[in-house]
């Protein structure tokens, strides 16, 4: 590490001791371990003296997106009624975490909502048993970047479908209203 660490004694890592159980009650991002309270997160110790609660405040962006966050990611698999998407951006910020979310697409009644390697924009709706669920059911959500399924050529939007400008193949997708506008993304990253 070249950066100088300026960890004060108030900073804690996951598992580190924060307080004794007789002094405080375990609050946010903490857990009880015998007669100790330990941190479950990287962050700063916060003592609420009025309520005798100790908690850890994490200022760093958390490892998984929150409900309501908009993500942009790469379709890793199409699993019939759902797609699995590896998240590349959370609220416009690049993430290197490679966390996947699942998006149900069954109700859209499209044969090809998105293809593997397509870039899609989704919104996080829930975390259930460690699985992150997202939705594609809003106007601006959907495919941002796709290719022709037959020849991998460039496609253009026609109504709610796409047409290959090379072989003429027409295919369905759930397109985002941002389709073809998302030129802020460097798609070479995804190859
Ligand atoms: Zn084509």
Predicted structure pTM score: 0.65
Separation of CA 147 and ligand 1 centre (Å): 8
**E strands present in the chain:** 11-12, 17-20, 25-26, 30-33, 36-39, 43-48, 53-57, 70-78, 82-90, 93-94, 100-104, 119-128, 131-135, 142-145, 155-158, 161-164, 170-172
Separation of CA 168 and ligand 1 centre (Å): 6
CATH class given for the domain over 70-181: mainly beta
Integer Cα distance of 40 and 14 in angstroms: 4
* pLDDT digit string, tens, across residues 36-85: 998 887 788 999 989 999 998 876 555 678 899 999 999 999 988 999 99
Banded model confidence at residue 124, pLDDT cuts 50, 70, 90: very high
Separation of CA 152 and ligand 1 centre (Å): 6
Q: H or E segment at 131? A: strand 131-135
Separation of CA 112 and ligand 1 centre (Å): 15
Separation of CA 121 and ligand 1 centre (Å): 23
Question: Which of the residue ranges 2-6, 24-28, 154-158, 177-181 would you say has the lowest mean pLDDT?
Answer: 2-6
Separation of CA 103 and ligand 1 centre (Å): 26
- Asked whether this chain's domains 11-57 and 70-181 adopt the same fold, the reply is yes
Share of the chain above pLDDT 70, in %: 87
93-122 average pLDDT score: 91
Pick the CATH number of 11-57 from 3.55.50.30, 1.10.8.60, 3.30.1330.10, 2.40.50.100: 2.40.50.100
Integer Cα distance of 87 and 102 in angstroms: 10
- Tell me how far CA of residue 64 lies from CA of 15, 133, 184, in angstroms: 19, 11, 23
103-113 average pLDDT score: 92
- Residue 188 phi, psi dihedral angles, 5° rounding: -60, -25
Residue 97: pLDDT over 80: no
Q: Where are the domains of the chain?
A: 11-57, 70-181
Separation of CA 86 and ligand 1 centre (Å): 25
Those residues whose C-beta lies under 8 Å from the C-beta of residue 6, and which sit 6 or more positions away, are: none
């Amino acid at each position: 590490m070249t950066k100088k660490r300026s960890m004060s004694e108030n900073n804690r890592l996951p598992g580190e001791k924060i307080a004794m159980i007789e002094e405080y009650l375990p609050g946010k991002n903490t857990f009880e371990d015998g007669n100790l309270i330990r941190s479950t997160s990287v962050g700063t110790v916060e003592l609420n003296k009025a309520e005798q609660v100790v908690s850890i405040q994490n200022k760093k962006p958390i490892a998984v997106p929150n409900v309501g966050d908009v993500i942009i990611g790469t379709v890793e698999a199409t699993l019939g009624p759902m797609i699995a998407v590896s998240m590349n951006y959370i609220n416009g910020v690049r993430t290197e975490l490679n966390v996947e979310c699942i998006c149900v697409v069954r109700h859209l009644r499209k044969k090809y909502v998105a293809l593997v390697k397509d870039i899609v924009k989704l919104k996080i709706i829930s975390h259930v048993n460690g699985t992150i669920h997202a939705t594609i059911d809003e106007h601006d959500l959907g495919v941002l970047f796709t290719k022709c399924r037959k020849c991998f050529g460039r496609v253009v939007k026609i109504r709610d479908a796409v047409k290959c400008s090379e072989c003429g193949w027409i295919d369905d997708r759930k397109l985002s209203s941002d389709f073809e506008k998302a030129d802020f993304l460097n798609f070479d990253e995804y190859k």
